[in-house]
Structure formats: structure tokens, C-alpha cells
């Protein structure tokens, strides 16, 4: 996420009270059906969605990780469950389930092997960046930070990675669906998305590593797509060569979405990340969302408190990549960052203590503060040890944690190990102090 539309800062989660419980009518008859059992610890290995957006229905094929205890629990927001089945080599059997409002418990046995469930459900339209939104000219989804349950059965914890795929049936109105192609490797639940619109693809080029970069734009947006993507291939290639291989396939790029009036920014829906129409011409937004392929998505944050590891690192990388591949653009980005930094209040949290003890929205962590104080922290380290040396450290971090979850504290350790400079007190000033430091190299 770069910036959220103002509207969304004030939203309140709206979970429809589904009320009561429902049981599948045709439970297996060859064995006593297992009662629905809560087991929120049972992990999700992969999620494959088959969506009929016209009917607003979907089937989620979910592979559960092995578990020594029975049951499974998913967040289901306001989706309405129709049926839950377990699929095995010998066929499919209906399972008992309970809808506990915004949680779904399933009666599935303990297993030493992965177990495959298919969950059929319907979903609802949303208007506050908390699910599926359709407009006169198309549709998009957005479930960051913890609204995945309004779109599919999920676990919203940011460290909980799942493989996923999305197939959306072509809509009756003839509009084009833009969704990830194939199976995407382990990623946070908020990465999953699709968009529908009158899209045209602008081929921006292919990186030396073989990633095809394309911007999908809406009618009248060609010039903005060209402007915003002017250095995107070069910046993406710089990240591939500096940080490590891109994890989400060989086709990636921006998708313009009509988020509505006043909405600026983008969302890291890799490999086809979304950028608000109003920000399509903005190079920093395009490169920022691309950089989430390495931080935030490629490496997941271990706790919401580690948000700065996603947004601070990505803001720095967008400025750094543009500094290297298009120095005048990079200089303008850093000048804009400095302006944004000046508008941050010293009490706005950046890197809170604890793990998943905060609500990232309600407790105010989702502000420009982690982005900018994070970016200038890295800038201060680069001023101390040299930007190229810091590139090496960030690359080493990516190579160590790609596909996993990590803490901001792990980054400090990596910087110390790779550069010989201990950034702890500099991080304390930039990320924790209520006095915002002056922009300068770390002391
Ligand atoms: Zn972001």
C-alpha cells in the first residue's frame, strides 16, 4: 500500500452478523461426521479461487497443512458459506461446519498429510476498500490489511503465507479480467486480487532476468501509463539484479484501477499490482508497488508492528532504484519524501513494540510515518556506510528471508553483519524516538 484514500482511514470493519450455525445437509454416512471444531493454528498451504463475479459466487480449493489436532478455522467476514467438502482420491465428502459470524469452523480430522477442502460460497459488494467493489466501468478487489474474509476463507495474519491462484470467469459485459497467471508462490492473504475493466496492455519491455513488464490501462490513460512506467523496467531490473530473483512469475506490472475521487496510491497485488488511476502517471507509485514484490510480499512481515519493514524498505528502494536508473527522477522523489517527512507528527507510531498487539488501522500505524521515517532511516545508513554497501545488505536480507516472514529487528542484524556498522541507535532515532531526526548520515 502506498497511501490509502482518506475515506478508508475512518472506516469501521463491517462484518455482517451471520448469526447462528449451519450444518451441511449431506454429511458423510460411512463414518460418524466430525463436529465442527475450532483450530485457528492449522495452517493454509494453498488457496485456489474460482470466481463467478457475475453471480458473486466462488469456490475456494484450500489445502490445509498437516495437523495433529482436528478441525480448521477460517476468517469469513461477510461471505455466505454454501457447502464445505473434503476432496480425496476416492471422491468428495461433505463436512460439517459452523458459521460463527466472521469465523468458519470445519469438522475435518487430524492428518499427517495435507488435506484438500473445497468451500463454496457467495460474496457481497463492498464500497470501503474492504472486499469486492464493482463500479459502472469495472470491478476490483482490495482486502488489505485484514479483510480477506470478505472475499475468501482465509487467515489474515501477515506472516501467514499461502500459495494462491485466481480464476475469474469472463464477465457477461465483455470486460477484461486482469488476475495473476498460474500459481503464485507463498504470499500474504492481502496480496490476492483481481480487476475487471476495459483494459489495454502497454508492453513496457522485458528485464534481463526475463520478466515481462506490462501496464494495463483504462480508456484515455495511455499517456499516463507511459509516463508512470517510463523507468519501471529499468527499476525492476535493478531490483532483480541487486536484491534477487522476483518470486511471482515471469509477467508483472501495474493495473490501473478506478478507486474513486481523491484516492491516490497503489496496492501490492503482485504480480499485477494495482495503482489508482489518479496515480498512474506517478513513477514513484509504480516503482513502490513493484518493490513490494521483494518486501511485504516476497518477504512477509512477521507482525503488524513490523509494517516499517514493508513500507519503509519499499519507500527507500523506490527512491534508491530511481536514483540509480533515472537520477533526476530519483532526486525529485527524495525531495517529495522530504516534504512528506516534514508533515509527520513526532508522536505518530513507526515501529511499535510487540507482535500483533495493535490494530494497524485503529491504532494509527497506517500513516505516512512508517513510510517516510523508514525511508530516511535507510538513507541515513546509506550515508554512513555507502549506498552500494547497503544495497548488498538489503540483498542479503532478501536472499535469506524470501518466501518467509521476518522482523525489522532482523534487518538491523543483517545490516550490522553485512556492513560492520551497528544501526541500532540510528534506528532508535528514526523509528522509535518522538524527536524526528534531521536528515543526515547516521552518527
Ligand atoms: Zn506500500
The string of DSSP letters for 355-374 reads SS-S-TTTTT-SSHHHHHHH
39/41 Cα distance (integer angstroms): 5
Centroid of ligand 1 to alpha carbon of 100 (angstroms): 33
Q: How far is CA 25 from the centre of its chain?
A: 36
Centroid of ligand 1 to alpha carbon of 191 (angstroms): 11
C-alpha cell at 381: 545508513
Q: Are 239 and 324 a contacting pair, CB within 8 Å? A: no
Centroid of ligand 1 to alpha carbon of 99 (angstroms): 33
Q: Are 257 and 216 a contacting pair, CB within 8 Å? A: no
Give me Rg for the CA atoms of the chain: 22
Tell me if residue 383 falls in helix, strand or coil: helix
C-alpha cell at 129: 476498500
Proportion of the chain above pLDDT 70, given as a percent = 93
Centroid of ligand 1 to alpha carbon of 320 (angstroms): 15
276/5 Cα distance (integer angstroms): 10
Average pLDDT of the residues in 120-136:
95
Centroid of ligand 1 to alpha carbon of 223 (angstroms): 24
Centroid of ligand 1 to alpha carbon of 307 (angstroms): 10
272/256 Cα distance (integer angstroms): 10
Tell me if residue 265 falls in helix, strand or coil: coil
pTM, whole model, 2 decimals? Answer: 0.93
Helix axes 232-242, 307-325, angle to 10 degrees: 120
Which of 372, 375, 398, 401 has its CA nearest to residue 239?
Answer: 398
225/440 Cα distance (integer angstroms): 35
Looking at residue 14, its pLDDT comes to: 32
Which of 92, 103, 90 has its CA nearest to residue 36?
Answer: 103
C-alpha cell at 361: 488501522
Q: Compute how many other C-beta atoms are within 10 angstroms of the C-beta atom of residue 348.
A: 16
Q: Are 311 and 301 a contacting pair, CB within 8 Å? A: no
Centroid of ligand 1 to alpha carbon of 25 (angstroms): 44
Average pLDDT, the chain: 93
232/204 Cα distance (integer angstroms): 8
Which of 427, 396, 225, 238 has its CA nearest to residue 323?
Answer: 238
C-alpha cell at 280: 498512474
Residues 248-262 pLDDT 10s: 999 999 999 999 888
Between 345 and 18, the more confident residue is 345
119 has a pLDDT exceeding 60: yes
Centroid of ligand 1 to alpha carbon of 376 (angstroms): 15
Query: Per-residue DSSP letters for 397-436?
Result: HHHHHTTSEE-HHHHHHHHHHHHS---HHHHIIIII-SSP
Domains and CATH numbers, the chain: 6-196 (2.60.40.1730), 299-443 (1.10.390.10)
Backbone angles phi, psi at 386, to 5 degrees: 100, 135
91 by Cβ neighbours in 10 Å (0-12 / 13-18 / 19+) ranks as exposed
257/215 Cα distance (integer angstroms): 11
Looking at residue 4, its pLDDT comes to: 46
Residues 12-70 pLDDT 10s: 333 333 333 444 444 444 567 899 999 999 999 999 999 999 999 999 999 999 999 99
Q: Are 54 and 172 a contacting pair, CB within 8 Å? A: yes
Looking at residue 261, its pLDDT comes to: 85
Centroid of ligand 1 to alpha carbon of 434 (angstroms): 23
Distances, alpha carbon 220 to alpha carbons 178, 198, 213, 224, 321, in Å:
18, 11, 20, 9, 29
Average pLDDT of the residues in 325-348:
98
Centroid of ligand 1 to alpha carbon of 288 (angstroms): 6
> 45 forms bridges with which residues in the sheet?
none
Which of 416, 186, 234, 401 has its CA nearest to residue 310?
Answer: 401
Residues 360-408 pLDDT 10s: 999 999 999 999 999 999 999 999 999 999 999 999 999 999 999 999 9
Centroid of ligand 1 to alpha carbon of 226 (angstroms): 21
Centroid of ligand 1 to alpha carbon of 310 (angstroms): 7
Looking at residue 136, its pLDDT comes to: 81
Centroid of ligand 1 to alpha carbon of 200 (angstroms): 25
3 has a pLDDT exceeding 90: no
Tell me if residue 295 falls in helix, strand or coil: strand
Confidence of residue 10 (pLDDT cuts 50, 70, 90): very low
Centroid of ligand 1 to alpha carbon of 313 (angstroms): 9
Centroid of ligand 1 to alpha carbon of 289 (angstroms): 6
Q: Compute how many other C-beta atoms are within 10 angstroms of the C-beta atom of residue 355.
A: 13
Centroid of ligand 1 to alpha carbon of 278 (angstroms): 16
Centroid of ligand 1 to alpha carbon of 371 (angstroms): 8
Centroid of ligand 1 to alpha carbon of 421 (angstroms): 27
Looking at residue 2, its pLDDT comes to: 59
Average pLDDT of the residues in 159-177:
96
C-alpha cell at 440: 543526515
Q: What kind and span of H or E run contains 323?
A: helix 307-325
DSSP conformational letter for 258: -
Centroid of ligand 1 to alpha carbon of 290 (angstroms): 9
Centroid of ligand 1 to alpha carbon of 253 (angstroms): 15
Backbone angles phi, psi at 288, to 5 degrees: -55, -50
Query: Per-residue DSSP letters for 158-213?
Result: TT--EEEEEEEPPPTT-PEEE---SPEEEE-GGG---EEES-EEEEEEE-TT--EE
7 has a pLDDT exceeding 80: no
Amino acid at each position: 500500500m502506498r497511501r490509502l484514500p482518506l475515506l478508508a482511514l475512518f472506516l469501521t470493519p463491517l462484518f455482517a452478523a451471520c448469526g447462528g450455525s449451519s450444518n451441511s445437509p449431506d454429511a458423510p454416512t460411512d463414518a460418524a461426521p466430525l463436529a465442527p471444531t475450532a483450530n485457528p493454528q492449522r495452517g493454509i498451504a494453498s488457496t485456489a479461487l474460482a470466481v463467478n463475479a457475475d453471480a458473486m459466487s466462488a469456490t475456494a480449493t484450500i489445502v490445509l497443512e498437516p495437523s495433529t489436532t482436528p478441525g480448521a478455522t477460517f476468517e469469513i467476514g461477510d461471505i455466505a458459506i454454501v457447502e464445505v467438502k473434503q476432496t480425496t482420491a476416492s471422491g468428495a465428502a461433505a463436512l460439517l461446519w459452523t458459521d460463527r459470524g466472521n469465523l468458519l469452523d470445519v469438522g475435518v480430522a487430524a492428518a499427517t498429510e495435507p488435506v484438500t477442502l473445497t468451500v463454496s460460497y457467495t460474496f457481497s459488494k463492498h464500497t470501503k476498500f474492504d472486499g469486492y467493489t464493482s463500479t459502472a466501468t469495472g470491478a476490483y478487489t482490495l482486502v488489505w490489511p485484514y479483510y480477506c474474509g470478505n472475499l475468501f476463507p482465509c487467515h489474515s495474519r501477515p506472516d501467514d503465507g499461502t500459495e494462491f491462484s485466481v480464476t475469474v470467469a469472463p464477465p457477461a459485459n465483455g470486460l477484461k479480467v486482469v488476475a495473476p497467471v498460474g500459481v503464485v508462490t507463498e504470499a500474504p492473504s492481502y496480496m490476492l486480487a483481481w480487476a475487471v475493466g476495459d483494459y489495454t496492455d502497454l508492453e513496457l519491455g522485458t528485464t534481463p532476468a526475463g520478466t515481462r513488464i506490462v501496464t494495463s490501462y483504462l480508456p484515455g490513460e495511455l499517456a499516463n501509463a507511459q509516463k508512470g512506467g517510463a523507468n519501471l523496467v529499468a527499476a525492476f531490473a535493478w531490483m532483480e539484479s541487486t536484491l534477487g530473483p522476483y518470486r511471482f512469475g515471469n509477467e508483472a506490472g501495474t493495473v490501473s484501477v478506478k478507486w474513486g475521487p481523491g484516492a491516490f496510491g497503489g496496492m501490492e497485488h503482485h504480480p499485477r499490482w494495482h495503482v489508482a488511476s489518479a496515480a498512474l502517471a506517478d513513477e514513484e507509485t509504480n516503482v513502490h508497488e513493484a518493490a513490494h514484490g521483494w518486501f511485504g510480499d516476497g518477504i512477509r512481515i512477521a507482525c503488524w508492528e513490523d509494517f516499517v519493514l514493508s513500507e519503509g524498505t519499499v519507500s527507500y528502494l523506490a527512491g534508491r532504484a530511481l536514483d540509480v536508473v533515472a537520477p533526476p527522477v530519483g532526486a525529485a522523489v527524495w525531495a517529495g519524501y522530504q516534504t512528506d517527512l516534514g508533515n509527520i507528527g513526532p508522536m505518530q507510531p513507526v515501529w511499535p513494540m510487540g507482535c500483533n498487539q495493535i490494530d494497524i488501522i485503529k491504532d494509527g500505524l497506517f500513516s505516512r510515518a512508517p513510510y517516510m521515517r523508514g525511508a530516511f532511516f535507510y538513507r541515513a545508513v546509506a550515508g554512513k556506510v555507502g549506498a552500494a554497501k547497503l544495497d548488498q545488505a538489503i540483498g542479503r536480507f532478501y536472499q535469506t528471508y524470501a518466501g518467509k516472514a521476518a522482523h525489522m529487528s532482523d534487518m538491523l542484524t543483517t545490516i550490522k553483519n553485512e556492513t560492520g556498522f551497528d544501526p541500532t541507535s540510528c534506528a532508535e532515532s528514526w523509528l522509535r524516538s518522538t524527536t524526528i531526526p534531521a536528515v543526515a548520515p547516521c552518527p
